[in-house]
Amino acid sequence: MRCGVTAERAPLRPTRDPRVTLDDLVEVLLNKGAVLHLDLIVAVADIPLIGVNVRAVVAGMETMLEYGMMRQWDEDTRAWAERSVRRRGLDLREGESVVCRMSGGHLLAEGIYTGWRPGTVHLTDQRLVVVRDEPREVLWQADLDAVRAARLEPERTVGGEERLRLRVALADGGEALLSAQEPEKLHARLTDACAGRLDTPFPFRPAVEEEPLHEGHLWFHEPRRGGPLWRGGQGRLTAAGLVWKAPVDSRPALVVPMADIAGVERSAGYGPAGEGTVFVVRTTDGGEATLAADDPAAWTERLAAARPAMGTG
Amino acid sequence: MPLTVDEKSLKHGVLSLVLTLTEVIQEALERQALRRINGGDLTLEESERLADALLELDEALEQIKEDHGITASVADLHRGLDEVVDDVVDKLINPRRWAEEAGA
Q: What proportion of chain B, given as a percentage, has pLDDT over 70?
A: 89
Residue A1 confidence (pLDDT): 42
How many angstroms separate the CA atoms of A133 and A122, rounded? 12
C-alpha span between B25 and A274 (Å, rounded) = 57
Give the phi and the psi of residue A113 in degrees, each rounded to 5. Answer: -90, 125
Domains of chain A: 20-82 (no CATH), 96-193 (2.30.29.30), 212-312 (2.30.29.30)
CB atoms within 10 A of CB A203: 12
Per CB-CB distance under 8 Å, the chain B contacts of A74 are 41
Strand partners, A3: A14
CB A89 within 8 A of CB A100: no
Nearest CA in chain A to B22: A23
Contact B69, B78 (CB under 8 A): no
For residue A206, the model assigns a pLDDT of 46
Nearest CA in chain B to A27: B28
Q: pTM to 2 decimals?
A: 0.47
d(CA A300, CA A312): 8
pLDDT tens digits, residue range B35-49?
999 988 888 888 998
Rounded Cα distance between A255 and A21, Å, is 66
Q: Minimal Cα–Cα distance from A56 to chain B, Å?
A: 19
CA A102 – CA A179 distance, rounded (Å): 10
User: Does residue B68 contact residue B15 with C-beta atoms inside 8 Å?
Assistant: yes
CB contact under 8 A, A16 and B85: no
Residue type, A117: R
Question: Smallest CA–CA separation between A27 and chain B, in Å?
Answer: 6
pLDDT at position A311 is 47
Q: What number of residues does chain A have?
A: 313
Specify the pLDDT at position A6: 43
- Do β-strands A311-312 and A261-267 pair in parallel, antiparallel, or remain unpaired? parallel
B46 touches chain A (CB under 8 A): yes
End-to-end CA, chain A: 90
**From CA A244, how far away is CA B43, in angstroms rounded?**
56
Contact A16 B93 (CB under 8 A): yes
User: Does B24 have pLDDT greater than 90?
Assistant: yes
Among A1, A60, A78, beta carbon nearest to B35? A60
Count CA atoms within 13 Å of residue B31 on its CB side: 18
Could you tell me how many CB contacts below 8 A there are between chain A and chain B? 59
The mean pLDDT of chain B is 85
Cβ contacts of B2 within 8 Å, gap of 6 or more: none
Q: State residue A89's pLDDT score.
A: 64
Q: Please, where are the H alpha helices in chain A?
A: 22-32, 61-66, 71-87, 183-193, 296-306
pLDDT in tens, B40-73: 888 888 899 899 999 999 999 999 888 888 888 8
Mean pLDDT by 10 residues, chain A (313 residues): 47 62 90 93 92 94 91 91 72 81 85 81 88 80 85 73 83 85 87 70 51 83 84 84 82 83 82 82 86 85 74 45
Beta strands in A19-158 (DSSP E): 34-44, 47-58, 98-110, 113-124, 127-132, 137-143, 147-156
